[in-house]
Amino acid sequence: MSSLVKCPHCGLRPREEFTIRGEVATPRPDAGADEALWFDHVYLRDNPRGEHREYWHHSGGCRRWLVLTRNTLTHETSDVVDASTLKLGERA
């Protein structure tokens, strides 16, 4: 029916406002990086029982990409941050 996600920009919103892209993969390799790194980045995904980090896009709200840490077993969402912080560091 629904569940809620706390967008760091918009506050508590229903799951329907979000589009889920999947696991936060390894960082995008440098252009000259080894092909194996690229294969991991493009194809390698975990399917853990427990804590999982995913890209969620607030497509029905602020249109920001978020990184959501949730537990696949308990469904508990422990952290939601703007995805730009993966690279920029500080919390947007």
Partner 1 sequence: MTSFRIDGGTLIDRNDVRRFTFNGEVLTGFGGDTVASSLLANGKQLVGRSFKYHRPRGILTAGAAEPNALLTIGRDGRRDPNTRATMAELFDGLEARSQNCWPNVNFDIGAANGLLGPLLGAGFYYKTFMWPAAFWEKVYEPLIRKAAGLGRASYDPDPGYYEKCWAHCDLLVIGAGPAGLAAALTAGRAGVRVIIADEGVQLGGGLIAEGSPVGGKPADAVLADIIGELHALSNVEIKKRTTVFAAYDDQVFGAVERVQKHLPEGEINPHRAMERLWRIVARQVVLATGAEERPIVFGGNDRPGVMMAGAMRTYLNAYGVAPGKRVALFANNSQAYQTALDLEVRGIEVAAIIDPRTCPNIDYDGKARLIAGAMVRDTAGRKAIKSITVRHDDGRDEVIAVDALGVSGGYSPIVHLACHRGGKPVWSDAHVGFMPPENTDGMTPCGAVAGKAGIADCFADGGVAAVKALAELGVMGEAASLPGVEQTAETVDHIQPVWHVASTKGKAFVDFQNDVAASDITLAMREGYDHVELAKRYTTNGMATDQGKTSNVNAIGILAENKGVSPGEIGTTTFRPFYTPVSFGALVGASKGMDFQPVRKSPLHGWAGRNGAKFVETGLWYRSSWFPKDGETFWRDSVDREVNTVRTKVGICDVSTLGKIEIFGADAAEFLNRVYCNAFLKLPVGKARYGIMLREDGFVYDDGTTSCLGGNHYFMTTTTALAAGVLTHLEFCAQVLWPELDVRLASATDQWAQMAIAGPRSREVLSKIIDDDISNEAFPFLAAREVSMFGGRLKGRLFRISFSGELAYEIAVPAGYGESVADAVMAAGEEFGITPYGTETLGVMRIEKGHVTHAEINGTVTPADLGMGRMVSAKKDDFIGRVMNLREGLVDPDRPALVGIKPKSPSDKFATGSHILNPGEDVSLANDQGYVTSMCHSPTLGHAIGLALVKNGPKRHGEEVVIWNGLAGTTVTGILCNPAFVDPENEKLHA
Partner 2 sequence: MRDYPLENRGAFPPHVAAGAGASISLAPVKGGFVIHLLGDAKSDEAALKKALAKIAPELGADVRKSAPNQWFWVGDADVSSDRLTEIQAGLPSQFALADQTHGRVRMRLSGPSSRTVLAKGTMVDLSADLFAIGQSAMTQIGHIGAMITRIEDDSFELIVLRSFAGSLWDELNHMAAEFR
Binding mask 31-60 for partner 1 (x = CB under 8 A): xxx-x--x--xxx-----------x-x-x-
Q: Which one of the spans 24-32, 37-45, 58-66, 68-76 is the region binding partner 2 (CB under 8 A)?
A: 58-66
Among candidate residues 51, 64, 54, the one with its CA nearest the CA of residue 11: 64
Report what 17 binds from partner 1, Zn ion, partner 2, none; CB cut-off 5-8 Å by kind.
partner 2
**Can you list the alpha helix ranges (DSSP code H) found in the chain?**
35-43, 85-88
- Which residues 6+ apart lie within 8 Å of 81 measured at CB? 8, 66, 67, 91, 92
Binding site for partner 2 (CB under 8 A): 2, 4, 9-14, 16-17, 60-64, 82, 92
